[in-house]
Amino acid sequence: MEFISPELDYAALAPMIVVGVAAIISVLVEAFAPRSVRRFLQLVLVFTTLIGALVLVVLNSGMRVLTGGQSIALDGPAWIMQGTILILAILGGLLMAEGGVDPSGDAFAPRASALPGSEDERQFTIRGYLQTEVWPFLLFAVLGMMLFVASNDLLMMFIALEVMSLPLYLLAGMARRRRLLSQEAALKYFLLGAFSSAFFLFGAALIYGYSGSIAFGPISFAITTKAGENTLLLIGIAMLLVGLFFKIGAVPFHQWTPDVYQGAPTPVTGMMAATVKVAAFGALMRLLYVAFGGVRWDWEILLWIVAILSMLVGSIIAISQSDIKRMLAYSSIAQAGFILVGVVAASPQGLASVLFYLIAYGFTTIGAFAVISLVRNASGEATSIRDWAGLGKKSPLIAAIFSVFMLSLAGIPLTGGFIGKWGVFAAGVAAGDAWLVIVAVIASVIAAFFYVRVIVLMYFADPTPDTAAVVIPSGFTTVSLAAGATLTIALGIVPQPILDIIANAGVFIR
Amino acid sequence: MTEAVSDFNLGETIVFWVCGGLAVLGALGMIISRKAVHSALFIALTMINLAILYVANAAPFLGMVQVIVYTGAVMMLFLFVLMVVGVDSSDSLVETIKGQRFAGLLLGIGLGLLLTVGIGSALTTSGDIGLTAANDAAGGNVQGLAQLMFDDYVVAFQATAALLITAAVGAMVLAHRERWTPRKSQPELSEERFRDGGHPGNRPSPGVYARHNAVDTPALLPDGSTSLDSVPGPLRARDDVRDVDPADVDEIRELTKGVDS
């Protein structure tokens, strides 16, 4: 049998190829460049790559192609999500590049292999070593996410999921301060992530057993032609959803979120919280709409339950948190629930509203974690909420910016979060999920309580001797923070350009 | 019995029940056994049985790869690591959250039952295409795999490279110890060794006594006492040094009484 070499649409794959090749070059830089210039080379490489890939995505955004057999779909939503991931990765990368906030270096351990508290670690810190391997990890994670939102095949999706997750597990364990907490977070994330991947694989196998294929097109075809005998299909969908719910941090697969958000280096938490949400929701929607659109009535109930649980559990537990990073982790669980309301709608309107929500949420989250990385005391970041009391009087600007982010997360008008929530809830009502939207509104009110509580604490409490100080960052964090704050407000006041872009993108192709 | 099941011949049925049973036993043994080495061996058993099942299911390539890569390379490397690092059985098995183990067991059994019943009932109703037909479509098992890997899934195949690179770099980052002092030269090392009156030359070899020939048996000094120097350091640290029975010493003294020393 003669082999016909595959036809790949290299133009459409170009953004991913650029990121992938750059990641490999970045590893080579680690191997061959002298230590003194590594950081500089990596920064130039990473930001050139991400911006270059973003330009390519914008140039490509008119394309609607299936390539790589049927395994990759580059359509309107895919371009929007890839673009969003790249922009958020640039902002997250800027946070990771910050070297002026911690007196002893950047946010990462000087050598992740040194035992916490050992003489080795002390010496590496004194000598100013930097673990520049974080940059190839960032690029590989971005590659995985870009592939994840474009996967049109269960195998492709699984590999993309792993390419995305593996670097994140590593990055989570590399915090400079509180090393043990960071390592524990990484291990937890890795083990639970491996479990969820196993569920995903099991689900993929069952779907193959049902439909005889793992590509979304043939699966969807099998669903329309094989009515009645869908036990395997339903178990398979449930298993696949476990894997994806884990990534978006939905209840009851949310247990890793608070620990990982707290333990990971703050810039990584910000980057991860924003980009992984986009990637995982992108993949979830493509899977549900393109492959399993025919059994919408069967998975809808599952999403209802998970959405309600996520919104309520996330919002209620967040109230009792005393650590700001853990609070934002539970907030992200609740936000995942809100976004699921738009996913359940399963309509073009729902898809558009989820895309907008993800964009608004991403910028707000990165900005919020940028602020957290600046509010410090002698032992590092002051993540205890009590230490934020009276911050509004000590550092009015930073407190004001953080308040904007909190208001956006709470969904108060004139912020991106409001437009996002509005869109998602409107799509829910239009799809006939009024009861779900009512629960979502109640959960929003509960959630608003703890967001506003931080603002009240910052402005209406008097500074105590424990109140943290705000460190003046270098240009990296400043740019990222300014971009996050500007876009959060801009999306709330003039959302129309972004809404137009999303509307022009259309729906997933099959 | 539906038509799909009756296609199996007797030999295949026997292979399935024997290997399937052993695979399940291996999997159970892996989670139940307390020693890491035993767990590793059990999982090797499971993998070999799965490989036989793959071969029986007309997937010889997958079966061979399973044996060579997983059982042969990965599991044996894993065993080496376990033996070199010397993980002992004292891993903490204390429940940190009360009732967690029971709840986990209950939910696990529940999920297992649900899946078994669900998949079992689904399999009795679904038809099959047949293994020969599936393999012949591309002119053979290996050819079929190659076709998929280098045509439809070539991007996925390339993407796994990213996975391997990340894993390799990650392992280096987490495990590679870098030096912050210059490496010591041979003269410096030797000087350091003898300055504090270290032992010159070889250490005494472990005791033999014509009955034990193990490295954990200390050598006897001329006065009948034992020399701990003769036992390797790790054994001493673990308190694994074998006691010397005074009766043995006396016996040997009796035996060698006439011999000139």
Asked if the structure places residue B230 within a domain, the reply is: yes
Nearest CB among A140, A169, A232 relative to B162 is that of: A140
If residue A124 lies in a helix (H) or strand (E), which one and from where to where? helix A119-126
Residue B148: closest CA among chain A residues belongs to which residue? A69
Nearest CB among A23, A123, A210 relative to B162 is that of: A23
Residue type, A404: V
- Joined together, the tokens standing for residue A436 give 């779900």
- Joined together, the tokens standing for residue A414 give 């004139």
Q: Do the Cβ atoms of A388 and A467 come closer than 8 Å?
A: yes
Token pair 């407190």 is found at A399
Q: B118 vs A156: CB contact, 8 Å cut-off?
A: no
Res. B174: pLDDT tops 70:
yes
How far the first Cα of chain A sits from its last, in Å, is 30
**Set of chain A residues whose Cβ sits within 8 Å of the Cβ of B153:** 68-69, 71, 153, 155-156
Asked if the structure places residue B247 within a domain, the reply is: yes
Res. A146: pLDDT tops 70:
yes
Q: A167 vs B166: CB contact, 8 Å cut-off?
A: yes
Task: Determine the pLDDT at residue A240.
Answer: 96
Which residues lie across from A375 on neighbouring strands?
A: A470
Q: B170 vs A170: CB contact, 8 Å cut-off?
A: yes
Task: Determine the pLDDT at residue A1.
Answer: 56
Residue A115: closest CA among chain B residues belongs to which residue? B177
The last residue of one of the domains, among B88, B108, B131, is: B88
Cα separation, A288 vs A296, in Å, equals 8
How crowded is residue A35: how many other Cβ atoms within 10 Å of its Cβ? 11
Chain A: give the shortest CA distance to residue B141, in Å: 13
Whose CA is closest to B78, among B48, B38, B28?
B38
Q: B166 vs A235: CB contact, 8 Å cut-off?
A: no
Of A461 and A167, the one with more pLDDT = A167
Q: Do the Cβ atoms of B12 and B19 come closer than 8 Å?
A: no
Q: B139 vs A1: CB contact, 8 Å cut-off?
A: yes
Asked if the structure places residue B148 within a domain, the reply is: no
Across the range B98-123, mean pLDDT stands at 88
- Beta strands A469-470 and A375-377 are antiparallel
Chain A: give the shortest CA distance to residue B220, in Å: 40
Angle, helix A396-410 to helix A348-374, in steps of 10 degrees: 150
Q: Which of A9, A67, A71, A199 to mutate to test the interface with B (most CBs of B within 10 A)?
A: A71
Whose CA is closest to A332, among A319, A344, A315, A320?
A315
If residue A67 lies in a helix (H) or strand (E), which one and from where to where? strand A65-67
Cα separation, A178 vs A432, in Å, equals 48
Residue B119: closest CA among chain A residues belongs to which residue? A232
Cα separation, A372 vs A407, in Å, equals 16
Cα separation, A188 vs A308, in Å, equals 25
Give the CA distances from residue A428 to residues A120, A408, A506, in Å, rounded to whole numbers and listed in that order.
Answer: 56, 20, 19
Report chain B's mean pLDDT, rounded to a whole number. Answer: 81
- Sign of the Cα torsion A410, A413, A415, A419 reads positive
- Joined together, the tokens standing for residue A67 give 């390539």
Q: A137 vs B177: CB contact, 8 Å cut-off?
A: no
List helix spans (H) across A287-347: 296-319, 324-345
Res. A12: pLDDT tops 70:
yes
If residue A208 lies in a helix (H) or strand (E), which one and from where to where? helix A179-211
Task: Determine the pLDDT at residue B10.
Answer: 83
Task: Determine the pLDDT at residue B87.
Answer: 60
Cα separation, A391 vs A400, in Å, equals 10
Task: Determine the pLDDT at residue A144.
Answer: 97
How crowded is residue A340: how many other Cβ atoms within 10 Å of its Cβ? 28
Task: Determine the pLDDT at residue B245.
Answer: 76
Cα separation, A272 vs A186, in Å, equals 13
Cα separation, B151 vs B163, in Å, equals 20
Task: Determine the pLDDT at residue B208.
Answer: 60
**Set of chain A residues whose Cβ sits within 8 Å of the Cβ of B147:** 1, 3
Q: Do the Cβ atoms of A139 and A23 come closer than 8 Å?
A: yes
Which residues lie across from B226 on neighbouring strands?
A: B220
Q: B178 vs A20: CB contact, 8 Å cut-off?
A: no
Cα separation, A363 vs A409, in Å, equals 11
Cα separation, B214 vs B208, in Å, equals 7
How crowded is residue A255: how many other Cβ atoms within 10 Å of its Cβ? 13
- Name the percent of chain A lying above pLDDT 90: 81
Q: Is A8 exposed, middle or buried (0-12, 13-18, 19+ CB in 10 A)?
A: middle
Q: B174 vs A209: CB contact, 8 Å cut-off?
A: no
Which domain range does residue B217 map to?
203-261
Inter-chain contacts counted by CB atoms under 8 A, chains A and B: 134
**Set of chain B residues whose Cβ sits within 8 Å of the Cβ of A173:** 174
Residue A233: closest CA among chain B residues belongs to which residue? B122
Q: B155 vs A30: CB contact, 8 Å cut-off?
A: no
Q: Do the Cβ atoms of A76 and A506 come closer than 8 Å?
A: yes
Nearest CB among B126, B152, B169 relative to A229 is that of: B126
Q: Which of A129, A161, A163, A199 to mutate to test the interface with B (most CBs of B within 10 A)?
A: A163
User: CB neighbours of A444 closer than 8 A, spacing ≥ 6?
Assistant: A315, A338, A410, A411, A421
> What's the total number of domains in chain B?
2
Q: Which of A28, A162, A230 to mutate to test the interface with B (most CBs of B within 10 A)?
A: A162
Phi-psi group of A72: left, alpha or beta (phi > 0 → left; psi -120 to 50 → alpha; rest → beta): beta
Q: A24 vs B165: CB contact, 8 Å cut-off?
A: yes
- Mapped onto helix, strand or coil, the DSSP state of residue A253 is coil
Task: Determine the pLDDT at residue B5.
Answer: 45
Task: Determine the pLDDT at residue B8.
Answer: 59
Cα separation, B58 vs A130, in Å, equals 52
According to DSSP, residue A1 is labeled -
Res. B211: pLDDT tops 70:
no
Report the range of poorest mean pLDDT among A407-421, B54-68, B214-228: B214-228
Token pair 């409001």 is found at A418
Q: A229 vs B125: CB contact, 8 Å cut-off?
A: yes
Q: Do the Cβ atoms of A267 and A96 come closer than 8 Å?
A: yes
Residue type, A5: S
Asked if the structure places residue B8 within a domain, the reply is: yes
Task: Determine the pLDDT at residue B258.
Answer: 67
Across the range A307-335, mean pLDDT stands at 95
Residue type, A475: G
Token pair 């938490």 is found at A269
Res. B201: pLDDT tops 80:
no
The last residue of one of the domains, among B40, B59, B88, is: B88
Chain B: give the shortest CA distance to residue A167, in Å: 6
Residue A125: closest CA among chain B residues belongs to which residue? B180
Asked if the structure places residue B255 within a domain, the reply is: yes
The last residue of one of the domains, among B54, B88, B122, is: B88
Cα separation, B244 vs B217, in Å, equals 7
Asked if the structure places residue B111 within a domain, the reply is: no
Task: Determine the pLDDT at residue B88.
Answer: 56
Characterize B124-155 residue by residue with b for buried, 16 or more Cβ atoms within 10 angstroms of its Cβ, and e for exposed: eebeeeeeeeebeebeebebbbbbbeebbbbb
Nearest CB among A1, A120, A143 relative to B162 is that of: A143
**Set of chain A residues whose Cβ sits within 8 Å of the Cβ of B129:** 212
In tens, the pLDDT along A155-183 reads 999 999 999 999 999 999 999 989 999 99
Asked if the structure places residue B82 within a domain, the reply is: yes
Whose CA is closest to A171, among A267, A254, A82?
A267
Of B251 and B71, the one with more pLDDT = B71
In tens, the pLDDT along A87-129 reads 999 999 999 999 888 888 889 999 999 888 888 899 999 988 8
**Set of chain A residues whose Cβ sits within 8 Å of the Cβ of B134:** none
User: CB neighbours of A62 closer than 8 A, spacing ≥ 6?
Assistant: none
Asked if the structure places residue B192 within a domain, the reply is: no
CATH number at residue B35: 1.20.120.1200
What's the predicted TM-score (pTM) here? 0.89
Q: A232 vs B126: CB contact, 8 Å cut-off?
A: yes
